A and B are shown apart, each in its own frame.
Chain A
Amino acid sequence: MTDEDLAVQRAAAGDAAAFDSLVRLHQSQLRGFLLRLTAGRHALADDLAQETFLEAWRKIAQFRGDGAFAGWLLRIAWSRYLMEARRRKLEPLGEDGDPSHDPRGAHAIRLDLESAMARLAPPERAALTACYALGFSHPEAARILNMPLGTLKSHVLRGREKLQALMQEATP
């Protein structure tokens, strides 16, 4: 049993300090994922990340441990993101990303990737991020994003094609 499994068990029994350690362990990945989904809107990504952790604390006893805890958190985050997108009636959330944002001041090529990513549909963005950057398998990513495996695969394929075209367009 890993330290994380122990922390999850203790948190499920109501230990706030154990949950605190889980928040510290997963905040970077979760906020990075949401930052990409929201096309670099830091405040919105952080609000969603906070709500994700609060929901996770309420429901942690329901976590059965049949997958990675990180995957379970991302699943909550994705559903929170979709709720927010519906509430704001933004279609899709992120395409009109804050032009002043600096996607983490990274290397220019990553900047190209981030701005091209921002032009994909959210499910494509989420599917590519889960499968590539976060390293989840297709079945795991399909479960996280609550979509059939075939749908996930077509999002990955379509997103990748669009991204390739966008990146080529941007190359002088």
Chain B
Amino acid sequence: MNDLDALLSQPLPPVPDKGFSNRVMAEMQLRQLRRERFRNEVLMGLVVLMVMILPFTGAGRMLAAPAFTQFGIILSGLALGAVLVLSARNSARP
């Protein structure tokens, strides 16, 4: 092994962290938060779209009839509650 090989084989000089890792982790969390927000917004948009369109479809009328019974109202309330709880949990996640 000659001098050049020895020089090339020296390990790369260490690069001090100086907050680099913290910046990476902060950016990672920020991007994850953005992705989750975007996903939630798309889901909300789809729900709103369905609510707007469903009453004008045959399937919507079929769903609406049993919804006005006592059991239907309870079931709808539970479903709406579940959606709200899940949505709140997703929003609260860091």
Contact = CB atoms under 8 A, between A and B. Distances in A.
A, B: real partners: yes
B27 A23 contact: no
Interface in A117-140: 128-129, 132-135
B21 to A, nearest CB: 5
Interface string A9-21: 0000000100110
A157 B59 CA distance: 71
Contacts of A110: 7, 10, 13
Interface stretch (A45-53, A61-69, A77-85, A91-99): A45-53
Interface string B1-45: 000110111111111110011011101110100000000000000
A31 B17 CA distance: 10
Contacts of A109: 7
Interface string A31-69: 111011000000000100110011001000000000000
B4 to A, nearest CB: 6
Which of A32, A36, A132 has the most C-beta atoms of chain B within 10 angstroms of its own C-beta?
A132
A33 to B, nearest CB: 7
Contacts of B21: 20, 23-24, 27
Given A20-B25, A160-B4, A163-B4, A133 B20 contact: no
A126 B91 CA distance: 43
Nearest to A31: B15
A76 to B, nearest CB: 13
Given A32-B13, A32-B14, A32-B15, A50 B8 contact: no
Interface of B: 4-5, 7-17, 20-21, 23-25, 27-29, 31
Interface of A: 16, 19-20, 23-24, 27-29, 31-33, 35-36, 46, 49-50, 53-54, 57, 104, 106, 109-110, 113, 128-129, 132-135, 160, 163-164, 167
8 contacts: A27-B17, A32-B15, A50-B20, A50-B24, A53-B24, A133-B12, A135-B9, A160-B8
